[in-house]
Every structure is written in structure tokens, then in C-alpha cells.
Amino acid sequence: MAEGGRYVIGVDLGATKILAASFDVDKGGSIKAASHEVKLRTPSDEGSERLIDSLVEAVESLRTAKAGFECLGLGIAVPGPLDREKGIVRYTPNLGLENYPLAATLGKRLGLEVRLENDVQAGVYGELKAGALRGKKTAVGIFIGTGIGGGIVIDGKLFRGSTGSAGEIGHMIVHEGGPLCGCGNYGCLEAHASRTALAKDSIALAASGRAPKLLDEAGLSFRKYRSSAFAASLNAKEAPIEKAVDRAAFWLGVGMANLVNILNPEAIVLGGGIVARFGKRYVTVARQAMRERLMPGLADSVEILVSELGDLAVPAGAALMALDHGAAQAGGDGNHGSGSGNGEK
Ligand SMILES: [Zn+2]
């Protein structure tokens, strides 16, 4: 590749890691595969100055990776509620930021305009414009991790809702009186089907000696119950863990049925570490539970897809949102053309 070129940068600021990537922007304004990516540990307990330093370090290493790097925009995605227009993070439980002007502070340090976005909405946007949802008009994205986040696409656009927080799919109540959720309600989808929910069941199984491989991988430390530890247990065919995973997938399917009955989407894309690691069986169980609960005639209406962009969905979406915002500000229509290709499968 020749030196120089036009790039857009996306950053996924998570509670444990910062993932930043630069994307080559073609003449039509669409992005190609990430040209460079940087992963750093998030200094989450060390104050906002230290956090900004790490973000600057990540972005600068992308900018200096190539001579003649022209940056067309920078988007940063964070969990939790935010004011997109003002670039203010309202609250992030694991990052210690509260009413913090992240976009302005970071922008000043970097000499760039910074666009702030919600992480899951950015992830769904990434899949819509450059991943599994390319070309879809009506779709839902569900990202399963520590929690469950989601995003809704209507008429080919991300649906934001009246205050910008549409898509809290994890807090759909699927079982009134079910397990307690982090949000304070009982029986949310997240409390049944997130990795955290799965870990709660599995740690008890490991402690009682019914999943020796999982115990070997993760011990009894809740934080070590990550997707890779579960995958090791599944590979060892530990039946109690298979059952717990099937149960989490079943509840995901119940949530998916509600979404399909209400929104009649063309496709649902599933993303997150669990989906990437658990593979076919997990998706099959979820799809079956969904099909059994759909209104007559809807069973074959929806495609269940798996994220194409993986970890890069969030940086890609944040980058594309910044690019589109810049184009709209410059008087363009914000359509960078990548969504118009024939992405149907
Ligand atoms: Zn909840």
C-alpha cells in the first residue's frame, strides 16, 4: 500500500480494555478492514487524566503508524448514558467518569474533532454499514457480554428513541419474578442470558465438583469466568455446563421472540465473546427457543446472523459515525455509500 491516505479512527473504551483502530476510507467514503489496531489496558481506577493519557497514546500510535496519515474523524464509544451532542459522558459505573466532557477533553489533546457514541449502538452501526447487517433495512443487534446490549435498525437507520437510549434489550423483562438484575429489576433478559448470569450458575457447579475443567480454568474467582474458560469446559464436554449454556441460549431466544413479534426485523445479528466462542450449538438453541414463541407466519421471516466484525464492530461503528457526522456537518447527506452495496446473503 502506498504511504499516506485518508483514515478514520474508532475507539472502544471499555471497563477493562481500550481498543482503537484506524480504517482506510475509500473515495466513496466506505471503510475497509482495519489497517491498524491497538489494544491497551484501561486504567479504570486511576482518574480521568490517566485515562485521557492512555486514549491519547492509543490514537497517536495509530496516527504515527503511517506517514502522511490524514485523519478524517475520530469516534469514541463508551458504555452507559451520555449526551451525544455535547460529547459528555453522564455516568459509567466501571470507568469512574461522571458528567465528564470526554469528547472536548480528548479533542483538545489530539487537535481533532471527537464524536462520542454509545458502545453498543456503535457496534450495531458497524455491523449495519460494514458487517453482517449490510443492506438490511429492519434489524436488531444483540451483544452478549458482562451485560446484554442492543441496537435497533429501522428503515436502514439506527433507531435512537426519544432520548437516545433505545435498544436496552438486556433489560427486557422475560420472566417476572426471575433473578435479580444489575438494574434492580427481577427477570431481565440480562439476568438470565448474559455471561454474568451464566457465571453465577457455573461457579456453583464448579464448586460442587461437577465441572472440573471449568474449575481448573477459572477456579472460584468470578472474574475469571470469561468466554474462553466456558469454551474450554464445553470442549471437554462437561454436561452440567452445556446445560447451563443451553439455558442461557434458551432465554436469549425468548428475548429474540419478543423482538421479532414486535419489530418484524429481516435479521438479528448476535455479537459478543459468548457468541464467538460458543458457536453453532448456542445459536441453534436460541433460534429454536425463538421459533417456538413467534406469532404464526413469522418463523421464517428472520435471519439469525453472527457478527462479522467481532471486536472491531464497536471501533468501526464509532469511526463511521464520526465520518458520517463530519460529512453531514460539511453539507453532505452523511451517506458514505457503504450501506448501499448488496450485502444480502
Ligand atoms: Zn435489568
Question: pLDDT tens-digit profile of 122-146?
Answer: 999 999 999 999 999 999 999 999 8
Domain total of the chain: 2
* CB-facing half-sphere around the CA of 55: CA atoms within 13 A: 30
For residue 183, tell me if it sits in a domain.
Answer: yes
Instruction: In whole angstroms, give the CA distance from residue 17 to residue 83.
Output: 22
pLDDT at residue number 334: 45
pLDDT at 72 over 60: yes
Q: What is the pLDDT of residues 79-133, one digit of tens each?
A: 988 999 999 999 887 788 999 999 999 999 999 999 999 999 999 999 999 999 9
Query: What percent of the chain lies above the pLDDT cut of 70?
Result: 95
pLDDT at residue number 67: 81
For residue 345, tell me if it sits in a domain.
Answer: no
Split at pLDDT 50, 70, 90, the class of 341 is very low
pLDDT at 345 over 60: no
Q: How far is the CA of 148 from the centre of ligand 1 (A)?
A: 9
Phi, psi of 114, rounded to the nearest 5 degrees? -115, 135
Q: How far is the CA of 191 from the centre of ligand 1 (A)?
A: 7
Q: Does residue 177 sit in the same domain as residue 320?
A: no
Q: How far is the CA of 170 from the centre of ligand 1 (A)?
A: 6
Q: How far is the CA of 122 from the centre of ligand 1 (A)?
A: 21
Q: Highest mean pLDDT: which of 13-17, 163-167, 283-287?
A: 283-287
Total residue length of the chain: 345
Query: What percent of the chain lies above the pLDDT cut of 90?
Result: 77
Q: Does residue 301 sit in the same domain as residue 334?
A: no
Three-state DSSP state, 97: strand
pLDDT at 335 over 50: no
Average pLDDT over residues 316-326: 94
Q: Answer yes or no: are the C-beta atoms of 10 and 2 closer than 8 Å.
A: no
Domain range for 247 is 136-306
Q: How far is the CA of 173 from the centre of ligand 1 (A)?
A: 7
Burial 125-135 (b: 16+ CB within 10 A, else e): bbbbbbbbbbb
Q: How remote is the C-alpha of 216 from its chain's centroid?
A: 29
pLDDT at 337 over 60: no
Q: Does residue 220 sit in the same domain as residue 256?
A: yes
Q: How far is the CA of 172 from the centre of ligand 1 (A)?
A: 7
Q: Does residue 93 sit in the same domain as residue 145?
A: no
Q: Does residue 110 sit in the same domain as residue 141?
A: no
pLDDT at residue number 332: 54
Q: Does residue 81 sit in the same domain as residue 168?
A: no
**pTM for the whole thing?**
0.90
Query: Domain of 216: which CATH number?
Result: 3.30.420.40
Please name the residue that has the C-alpha cell 503511517.
66
Q: Does residue 177 sit in the same domain as residue 292?
A: yes
Q: Does residue 176 sit in the same domain as residue 258?
A: yes
Q: Any long-range contacts for 63-69 (C-beta under 8 Å, 24+ apart)?
A: 63/9, 63/22, 65/22, 65/35, 65/36, 66/3, 66/4, 66/5, 66/7, 66/35, 66/36, 67/3, 67/4, 68/3, 68/4, 68/5, 69/4, 69/5, 69/7, 69/22
Q: How remote is the C-alpha of 302 from its chain's centroid?
A: 21
For residue 130, tell me if it sits in a domain.
Answer: no
Q: Does residue 66 sit in the same domain as residue 186?
A: no
Q: How far is the CA of 231 from the centre of ligand 1 (A)?
A: 26
pLDDT at residue number 30: 80
pLDDT at 300 over 80: yes
pLDDT at 28 over 80: no
For residue 104, tell me if it sits in a domain.
Answer: yes
Q: Does residue 185 sit in the same domain as residue 82?
A: no
pLDDT at 344 over 90: no
pLDDT at residue number 44: 83
Instruction: In whole angstroms, give the CA distance from residue 101 to residue 280.
Output: 42
181 secondary structure, DSSP code: P
pLDDT at 343 over 50: no
Q: What is the pLDDT of residues 39-64, one digit of tens each?
A: 999 998 889 999 999 999 999 999 99
Q: Does residue 147 sit in the same domain as residue 290?
A: yes
Q: How far is the CA of 202 from the centre of ligand 1 (A)?
A: 20
